[in-house]
A and B are shown apart, each in its own frame.
Chain A
Amino acid sequence: MKIARRAQAGTMQSSDIMVFAEPGDELIIEIDSTVAKQYEHLIRAKITEVIERMNVTSGIFRIKDRGALDYAIAARVEAVISRAQEQEA
């Protein structure tokens, strides 16, 4: 499955994460995080896990994290993928 259109999920509140998705030829995950130094690898692992579970094979994901916990990351990534599949209204 590919990212069909641009979508966004999440907020910039502390402990949340904002995720942007857009179509792309390969799978790219760009992570900006206030806690990148300590946790970037864990954030990436979580995002990759959700993307794989939802069978997404290509698309660009831009992540703006403000210290979100695992379940918040998973929920936001899931939401952005669902939105990126919806038909244009």
Chain B
Amino acid sequence: MHSYITGEAQIREAVSLLKDAGLDYDPAHEVFLGIYEDGRLIASGARDHNILKMVAVDEEYQNTGAFSEIINALITDAFQAGHDHLFVFTKPMYTFHFESLNFTPLCTTDKVAVLEFGKSIKSYLENLRNLSRRGRNSGLVMNCNPFTKGHRFLIQTAAKESDFVYVFVVQEDKSIVPYQDRLDLVRRGTAELKNVYVIPSGEYAVSRITFPSYFLKNKEQVTKQQIETDLRIFGQHIAPAFNIIKRYVGEEPICEFTSLYNEAMKRLMPEYGIKLVEMERKTAGETLISASTVRRLLFDGKHEEMKTLVPEATYEYLLKNKDMLRARFDKFSKSSK
């Protein structure tokens, strides 16, 4: 039977088990379960939201049912907490063990393998199949926090230069402008472009799963590994489903972090036959258009200046919802400290 791993001594024992398996202890988790035999910890596993981690089994017990028992306990516990779509990050050499418990590989780099359980990217793409078009198509992944004239210019250019364009709006609701509103503003701002489809990114592009550090303020936690995972999922699964052969991005002169992402794209996208089109940032007068500038102008009350950077619909939305956005801004800046 499994039990919770709590208390200093038990955690110390778990850290040593993890170390033997070549894993690090990660304090970010909601539950940490262990299986004990004669008072000794023989298997462990933890869950943070819908991510499983720190799954390790004592070497002596590798071929017993300990592994499936710990996974079983984690899945059952996760389901009760309301998660039926789970992910696990593990070493590529352990992929096979998870596959034998019906986990599906999502992406593998030389250091990390990501597998999912419950739902799958196959069914996410299957549900979008009626939007799949033949042609020389392009894709963009955008947060649009909020949708600016810069975003619109990028999409317009892609629309001119491609048969069809797929805009994946980051679904993770961790930005100041709520997800549904971001999606809605992109849809309204591109409504006149008939060959553009605006699609929620699901958990598969720039999500808490594929790219957790995008949502953290701490840049040191940005790992190349995460960027690579995110991009490989796009290249391997998403792009082929929509015949995407080009990916458009805006040049990133300001944010170091996004520029790291763009650099990785240049390197990785060609592996999947995708050409990266990096476009110069659009300016309004002297100002480079960026969503962060728009947010700053909004909160500083410089509405006239802000108006030149965003489409009409975004402008009206921002003025109308300023208080709500301010409250979300305060909430997020508090929680990230």
- The interface of chain A, by Cβ under 8 A from chain B, is 6, 8, 11-14, 18, 20, 22, 30, 32-34, 62, 64-66
Asked whether A12 and B68 contact (CB < 8 A) given A32-B104, A64-B102, the answer is yes
Question: Which residues of B sit under 8 angstroms from A18, Cβ to Cβ?
Answer: 72, 75
Would B65 and A13 count as touching, CB distance under 8 A?
yes
Residue of B nearest to A62 (CB): B118
List CB contacts (< 8 Å) of B89-116 with chain A.
100-102, 104
Would A12 and B71 count as touching, CB distance under 8 A?
yes
Asked whether A13 and B79 contact (CB < 8 A) given A32-B104, A34-B102, the answer is no
Q: Does B76 contact A (CB under 8 A)?
A: yes
Would B65 and A14 count as touching, CB distance under 8 A?
yes
Would A6 and B84 count as touching, CB distance under 8 A?
yes
Would B65 and A20 count as touching, CB distance under 8 A?
no
Asked whether A65 and B102 contact (CB < 8 A) given A6-B84, A13-B65, A20-B79, the answer is yes
Would A12 and B84 count as touching, CB distance under 8 A?
no
Would B79 and A66 count as touching, CB distance under 8 A?
no
Asked whether A30 and B123 contact (CB < 8 A) given A8-B79, A20-B79, A62-B118, the answer is yes
- Can you list 22 A-B contacts with CB-CB less than 8 angstroms, sorted by A residue number? A8-B84, A12-B68, A12-B72, A12-B101, A12-B102, A13-B68, A13-B72, A14-B65, A20-B79, A20-B84, A20-B118, A22-B84, A30-B123, A33-B102, A34-B102, A62-B84, A64-B101, A64-B102, A64-B117, A65-B102, A66-B100, A66-B101
Q: How far is the CA of A62 from the CA of B72 in the complex (A)?
A: 15
Question: Which residues of A sit under 8 angstroms from B68, Cβ to Cβ?
Answer: 12-14, 66
- The interface of chain B, by Cβ under 8 A from chain A, is 65, 68-69, 71-72, 75-76, 79, 84, 100-102, 104, 117-119, 123
Question: Which residues of B sit under 8 angstroms from A62, Cβ to Cβ?
Answer: 84, 118-119
Q: How far is the CA of A83 from the CA of B117 in the complex (A)?
A: 21
Q: How far is the CA of A20 from the CA of B84 in the complex (A)?
A: 8
Question: Which residues of B sit under 8 angstroms from A20, Cβ to Cβ?
Answer: 79, 84, 118
Q: How far is the CA of A11 from the CA of B119 in the complex (A)?
A: 17
Question: Which residues of B sit under 8 angstroms from A6, Cβ to Cβ?
Answer: 79, 84
Would A13 and B102 count as touching, CB distance under 8 A?
no
- Which of A12, A13, A62 has the most B CB atoms < 10 Å from its CB? A12
Q: Which of B65, B76, B101 contacts A8 (CB 8 A)?
A: B76
Question: Which residues of A sit under 8 angstroms from B84, Cβ to Cβ?
Answer: 6, 8, 20, 22, 62
A5 CB to closest chain B CB, in angstroms?
12
Would A34 and B72 count as touching, CB distance under 8 A?
no
Question: Which residues of A sit under 8 angstroms from B117, Cβ to Cβ?
Answer: 64
B179 CB to closest chain A CB, in angstroms?
22
Residue of A nearest to B67 (CB): A12
Would B72 and A32 count as touching, CB distance under 8 A?
no
Question: Which residues of B sit under 8 angstroms from A33, Cβ to Cβ?
Answer: 102
Beyond A18-B75, A64-B117, 20 extra complex contacts between A and B, CB < 8 Å: A6-B79, A11-B72, A12-B68, A12-B71, A12-B102, A13-B65, A13-B69, A14-B65, A20-B84, A20-B118, A32-B102, A32-B104, A34-B102, A62-B119, A64-B101, A64-B102, A65-B102, A66-B100, A66-B101, A66-B102
Question: Which residues of B sit under 8 angstroms from A64, Cβ to Cβ?
Answer: 101-102, 117
- 5 smallest CB-CB distances across A and B, nearest first, come from A12-B72, A32-B102, A64-B102, A8-B79, A12-B68
Would A34 and B123 count as touching, CB distance under 8 A?
no
Q: How far is the CA of A66 from the CA of B98 in the complex (A)?
A: 12
Question: Which residues of B sit under 8 angstroms from A11, Cβ to Cβ?
Answer: 72, 76
Q: How far is the CA of A22 from the CA of B71 in the complex (A)?
A: 21
A85 CB to closest chain B CB, in angstroms?
17
Question: Which residues of B sit under 8 angstroms from A65, Cβ to Cβ?
Answer: 102
Q: How far is the CA of A64 from the CA of B71 in the complex (A)?
A: 13
Question: Which residues of A sit under 8 angstroms from B75, Cβ to Cβ?
Answer: 12, 18
Q: How far is the CA of A79 from the CA of B101 in the complex (A)?
A: 21
